[in-house]
Amino acid sequence: MLRAAIIGLGKMGLSHHSIVNAHPDIELKAVCDTSGYMLDLLSRYTGVRTYTDYERLFAQEQLDCAFVATPSKYHARIVMAALDRGLHVFCEKPFGLDPEEGYRLAELAERKGLVNQVGYHYRFVAAFNEAKRLLDRKLIGDLHHVRAEAYGPVVLRPKGSTWRSQKSEGGGCLFDYACHAIDLVNYLVGRPRAVSGTVMNSVFSNDVDDEIYSTLHFSKELKGQLATNWSDETFRKMSVKLSLWGTAGRINVDRQEIQVYLRTLTQPFEDFKQGWNVRYTTELTKGVWFYVRGEEYSAQIDHFVRCITERAESLSSFRTASDTTLVAAMMRADAVKPQTTVERERPPVASEPKAPKARKRNLFGRLLSTG
């Protein structure tokens, strides 16, 4: 039985609380948050021990692992404190706002042999894993283009009072939303070598970006594009979609389904056929022991537990999450670089418009006017 604590009880922390508490191999010992009312409520009605100070929690509780789900800017220091106490750590995404800090924490966790995981739950969606399996087998040949899109209804009004609307707290579409799409690209295709043409735009927010567009460079042959917008209510909930073009076909994949188009099929592969092949989440997804809000949320917790008991490395480690932070940070730096102005190479020479010449009347005109 793994003894666990959760630090931070916002939307994600509470969701983890429910799933962690339901896991047969975890005993949730304590939770920590700054909201006294939430803590009192949980303590009274669920019996969990509560703290308002994570240092005190770590000092007083006998633990094996910790789940960190505070606002992003506090992740690093809490993770550090947990690692210092020898705890396996699951941290919410984004892992942090500074990639170097992330890599340092990754090294520390690796050195101490502690399981480290970040809540990039799309890595646990069956359809994306199916895409990864097919890409790894080069079923659609050599990739030449990738498009990653993420849309959803998060910020639909100018007002917003939580940390998510403040840049200094790690809010904004880039780190809070686009990171999911970036992480999936890293997972399926590999980390881009460079980014260019990044646009960070605000739709409603005063302080942060609501949409991000960027070009991704993987190799001479492979490029990609990222398009994310969290001010789009035409999606009922967050939707992440990847489209991948290869020399032998194309894959479109989202949470629900994977569509594989095979231009050619040189040798038989499973029951894939030339042309379109569609697989749905219903056939791809493995059931989970407890379901709250999507299999992937439960599956990532179960994976963390298995990694601890089997001494394995997580599929979504501090290191891979730091790669994602690194790409996001590079996009932010790229967004302020000068653009290429649209102008003609040789603008027309400015000059006075010529006065129209007085028209010479021809003979016929002259004859007429004399009358």
Partner 1 sequence: MDRILFGDNQFFGVNHMSEEKARAQAMRFQDTGAVIEVLDDAYAEGIRTFMCTTHERISEVCDYFRANRDKYPDFKFYPCMPYAHKYANAAAELGVLGAIRSFLPEENAFRALLKGGLSLARKDIEGLANLLIDSEMKMFAGLPTPVVFLQNVATDFLLGLGFDEAFRIFADCVRTRYGAEPGFISMNAPVLVQRLQRSGLENPIICTNINKIGFRMSGGMAAYEALMASGRCRLIAMSVFASGALPPQEALEYVCSRPRVNSIVFGASSRRNIAQTSRLIKQLTAA
> Shortest distance, CB of residue 228 to partner 1, whole angstroms?
15
Q: Which stretch binds partner 1 (CB under 8 A): 36-44, 99-107, 115-123, 216-224?
A: 36-44
194-201 and 211-217 beta bridge pairing: antiparallel
The verdict on 198 binding partner 1 (CB under 8 A) reads no
Whose tokens are 């007083």? That residue is: 60
The reply on whether position 229 binds partner 1 by CB under 8 A is no
Q: How far is the CB of 254 from partner 1 (least distance, A)?
A: 6
Nearer residue to partner 1 within complex by CB, 160 or 249: 160
- When the beta carbons of 144 and 241 are compared against partner 1, the nearer one is 241
Pick the closer one to partner 1 by CB: 278 or 312: 278
User: Given candidates 2, 7, 8, 15, which one binds partner 1 under the rule CB under 8 A?
Assistant: 15
Regarding 162 and contact with partner 1 (CB under 8 A), the answer is yes
Give the x-and-dash track for 239-278 against partner 1 (CB under 8 A).
x-x------------xxxx---------------------
Q: Is 192 in the site for partner 1 (CB under 8 A)?
A: no
Name the segment binding partner 1 (CB under 8 A); options: 11-19, 142-150, 194-202, 264-272. Answer: 11-19
Site membership for partner 1, residue 10 (CB under 8 A): yes
Task: Identify the burial level of 28 via C-beta atoms within 10 angstroms of its C-beta, where 0-12 means exposed, 13-18 middle and 19 or more buried.
Answer: buried
Alpha carbon distance 62, 30 (integer Å): 10
- Region of 100-108, 137-145, 212-220, 232-240 interacting with partner 1 (CB under 8 A): 232-240
Tell me if 334 contacts partner 1 by CB under 8 A.
no
303 lies in the site for partner 1, by CB under 8 A: no
User: 309: helix, coil or strand?
Assistant: helix
Beta bridge partners of 28: 4
Specify the residue, 159 or 193, whose C-beta has the smaller distance to partner 1: 159
Short-list 52, 49, 58, 103, CA closest to 82: 58
Residue in this structure with the two tokens 């917003």, named with its chain if needed: 160
User: How many residues are there in the chain?
Assistant: 371
Q: What is the CA radius of gyration of the chain?
A: 28
For partner 1, which is the closer residue by CB, 120 or 297?
297
Sheet-wide strand order for 143-151: 194-201, 211-217, 223-229, 143-151, 239-246, 249-253, 257-262, 275-280
Long-range contacts of 21-25 (CB under 8 A, 24+ apart): 21/46, 21/48, 22/289, 22/290, 22/292, 23/289, 23/290, 23/301, 23/302, 23/305, 24/289, 25/1, 25/305, 25/309
Asked whether position 283 contacts partner 1 by CB under 8 A, the answer is: yes
Closer Cβ to partner 1, 110 or 257, answer by number:
257
Q: Which is nearer to partner 1, 101 or 176 (CB)?
A: 176
Q: Is 41 in the site for partner 1 (CB under 8 A)?
A: yes
Q: Which is nearer to partner 1, 44 or 361 (CB)?
A: 44
> Least Å distance between CB 230 and partner 1?
9
CA dist 148 and 145 (Å) reads 10
DSSP letters for 20-87: HHH-TTEEEEEEE-S-HHHHHHHHHHH--EEES-HHHHHHHS--SEEEE-S-GGGHHHHHHHHHHTT-
For Cα atoms 341, 345, 346, give the angle at the middle one, nearest 5 degrees. 135
Nearer to partner 1, 197 or 294 (CB): 294
CA atoms within 13 A on the CB side of 342: 0
**CB of 279 vs partner 1, minimal distance in Å:** 10
Q: Is 280 in the site for partner 1 (CB under 8 A)?
A: yes
Contact footprint for partner 1 (CB under 8 A): 9-11, 14-15, 17-19, 21-22, 35-38, 40-42, 44-47, 153-155, 157, 159-162, 164-165, 234, 236-237, 239, 241, 254-257, 280-283, 285, 287-293, 295
